[in-house]
Amino acid sequence: MVSSNLTRVRRHPERGNYERETLLDILRSGLVCQVAFQINGQPFIIPMSYYNNEEFIYIHSSIAARITRILREEASVAISVLELNGLVIAKGLADNSMNYRSAVIFGKPTEIVSDGEKISYFKEWIDNLMPGRKANTELPTEDELKGVAAFKIRLDQFSVKVREGGPSEARKNPDIWSGVIPISSLFSDPIFASSDDFPEHIMSFIESRNSPRG
């Protein structure tokens, strides 16, 4: 994708990336996005779970939530996903940074109104969150389905920014340590479980998420 005035990375443009595959890889590794919107000039930002395929990112909310009204008006939103990979500790105070991959998506939401499409979305959402789970869950009742609004935003306008590598070597003081402290998330065995006999798809998920990225 070619960058536009809206999506172009201006600070450290060499870190900018506009490839769809990079965007999809970041979305596949994430669990939560931040959705930003405005009401009468007042900015808001809400953390939400999401699901995506190659064309859309999907989010959902209670019909009583403030964001639902805004999304139903098809107001423009910005959606951000961050993958934090390391603390970059430099010799100079102004040179400290972080290693990360981030994505920002711009667009207008479209509500999913068909019950069939909503059920399909929720199945894919839970299977994206926990692979194998859509075959091991109870579907929502009609009232539960009516209580939730689902939306999709096309993956047309986006930018990716990536910082990797070591700290700046501009300062040479040998008495000050510099380096990168990697950051990773580990998933533990379930707690508050209905049974100690954990399903295979649960343990497979934990094992796969704890495996180093290839």
Per residue in 86-96, pLDDT (tens digit) is: 999 999 999 99
In this structure, what is the dihedral angle of CA atoms 22, 27, 29, 34, given to the nearest 10 degrees? 130
| Residue 114 lies inside a defined structural domain of this protein | yes
| Residue 204 lies inside a defined structural domain of this protein | no
Show the domain range for 116: 13-168
Q: Is the pLDDT of residue 23 over 90?
A: yes
The identity of residue 172, as a single letter, is K
- Residue 62 sits in a domain whose CATH number is 2.30.110.10
State residue 214's pLDDT score: 45
Count Cβ neighbours within 10 Å for each residue of 54-75 and write b for 16 or more, e otherwise: eebbbbbbeeeeebbebbeeee
**Three-state secondary-structure class, residue 179:** strand
Q: What is the mean pLDDT of residues 91-114?
A: 94
Structurally, the chain folds into a number of domains equal to: 1
| Residue 118 lies inside a defined structural domain of this protein | yes
| Residue 192 lies inside a defined structural domain of this protein | no
Assess contact for 80 and 33: CB atoms under 8 A: yes
**Chain segment 26-42, per-residue pLDDT in tens:** 999 899 999 999 998 89
Select the more confidently predicted residue: 118 or 14.
Answer: 118
| Residue 76 lies inside a defined structural domain of this protein | yes
Q: 7 falls in which pLDDT band (50, 70, 90)?
A: confident
Q: Exposure of 81 by Cβ count < 10 A (0-12 exposed, 13-18 middle, 19+ buried)?
A: buried
